[in-house]
Amino acid sequence: MRKQIKIGTRASLLAVTQSTWVKQQIEAQHPGTTVELVKIVTKGDKILDVPLAKVGGKGLFVKEIEDALLDGQVDLAVHSMKDVPAELPQGLHVAIVPKREVPFDAFISVQHQILDELPQGATVGTSSLRRKAQLAIMRPDLQINDLRGNLDTRLRKLDEGLYDAIILAGAGLNRLGMQKRITAFFPPEQMLPAIGQGALGIELREADEELLAGLQFLHHPDTAAAVAAERAFLLRLEGGCQVPIGGFATVEGDTVTLTGLIAALDGQTVFKEQLAGSRESAAEIGKTLAETLLDAGGKAVLDEVYAG
C-alpha cells in the first residue's frame, strides 16, 4: 500500500465526517500510510437558494470531485451513493462499497411524534421530489415547502418554527451523532428511500489496481449487491437524484429483493412493484423492474417531470 493517499471530499460537515471515517479505517488497516482530505466545493454546494430539481443536471455533488480524480489531484473520492449518478465518467468506477448505514428517511419534529399527528395543512420541509411525491400520497393536505442547506441549517429552521416537521436521511444524522433529533423513521412500505441512500461509495481510477486491492477490506458484498440493483434501476430510468424515483433492495443469502417506485409529484399517480432474483443478477433485477414500471405508465410520469 502506498504511503500517502489523498481523498477528495465535499466540504460539508457530513461529507468530511464520512471521509474522515474512511481515512481512519485506512490508516488503522495500513500502518505507515498517511491519508489527507482534500476538500472540494461542488456545484450543488454553491447553489443554495434554488431547489435542486430546478438546477437540473446530474452529478451536482460529485462532478468537480471526479474531475480532480481524473486529473490525479486526489487518489480516491468518498461519496454518499445517493448523490452519485448512475453513469460514471470513463476511467472511473465505484469499486468499494462499505456496509450501509440506516437507509430510511427520518421524520423530525419538535411537537409531533409521527406524520399522522401533524394537523391538517401542516408545513413540512424537504426539497426532494421523491419525498414530496410520497408525502402527497400519505397526506395530500400538507403544505410541503423547499428546504436546503446543511443539516445544522435545516434543523435550525425547524427549531425556529418555519416548519412543523422536516424529512432528512437518517444515515446522515446517525453519522453526525444527531440520532436524538430523529422523531421516527419511515418504513420503506411508507416511503421508499433514494437509490443508494445510507450507503457510501469509494470511487477510484479503474487503472489503480494497487489502491483497489488495499481498500478491499472496506468492501461489504451484501451492501454492494443491494446498491447494484438499485443503481441499475436508476440507470434504466435515466434519472438523477432529483426525480420522483425511489428504490430499495435487501439481500438475504443469495436473494436480492428490489422494490421500486415512480410517482407523480402530486401523489395521484403511483407505480410501485417488487422483483427478486439471485445476487449475481442484481443489475438485471434493477433493469427489469425499471422496464416493468415504465411500461405500466411510469414513462409518462417521468416525461412530464423532465418537461417541467
Please report, for the chain, the start and end positions of each structural domain, with discontinuous segments joined by +: 1-100+199-219, 105-185, 220-308
CA 288/CA 275 separation, integer angstroms? 8
Residue 83 known to be catalytic: yes
Angle between helices 221-237 and 282-293 (to 10 degrees): 30
What secondary structure does DSSP assign to 56-89, as a single string?
Answer: --S-TTTHHHHHHHHTTS-SEEEEEGGGS-SS--
Q: Which CATH superfamily is domain 1-100+199-219 in?
A: Periplasmic binding protein-like II (3.40.190.10)
Cell readout for 107 is 421524520
The answer to whether residue 304 scores a pLDDT higher than 90 is: no
Helix ranges, the chain (H) = 13-29, 43-46, 52-55, 63-70, 129-138, 151-159, 170-175, 209-215, 221-237, 282-293, 299-307
Residue with cell 452519485: 84
CA-to-CA distance for 160 and 158, rounded, in angstroms? 5
Nearest to 130 by CA among 53, 43, 182, 187: 53
Q: What is the mean pLDDT of residues 13-42?
A: 96
**Is the pLDDT assigned to residue 46 strictly greater than 60?**
no
Q: What is the CATH number of domain 105-185?
A: 3.40.190.10
C-alpha grid cell, residue 164: 412543523
C-alpha cell recorded at residue 257:
429483493
The x, y and z cell numbers of residue 130, run together, are 421523491
Give the Cα separation of 144 and 148 in Å (integer). Answer: 13
253: helix, coil or strand?
coil
Residue 176: strand, helix, or coil: coil
End-to-end CA distance of the chain: 49
pLDDT at residue 161 above 60?
yes
Give the model confidence (pLDDT) of 88-124 as tens digits: 999 999 999 999 999 999 999 999 999 999 999 999 9
Q: Does the predicted TM-score (pTM) go above 0.85?
A: yes
CA distance 69 to 80: 16
Q: What would the pLDDT profile of 179-233 be if each residue is shown by its tens digit?
A: 999 999 999 999 999 999 999 999 999 999 999 999 999 999 999 999 999 999 9
- Residues 78-102 as b/e (b if ≥16 CB within 10 A, e otherwise) read bbbbbbbbbebeeebebbbbbebbb
**pLDDT at residue 150, rounded to an integer:** 82
Sign (positive or negative) of CA dihedral 145, 131, 191, 152? negative
Which of 75, 83, 164, 208 is flagged as catalytic? 83
Task: Give percent of the chain above pLDDT 90.
Answer: 81
Q: Within 13 Å of residue 177, how many CA atoms lie on the same side as its CB?
A: 2
Q: How many CB atoms lie within 10 A of CB 267?
A: 17
Instruction: Give the domain 220-308 fold.
Output: Double Stranded RNA Binding Domain (3.30.160)
Which residues are registered as beta bridge partners of 213? none
The pLDDT score that the predictor gives to residue 73 is: 97
Residue 55 banded pLDDT, cuts 50, 70, 90: very low
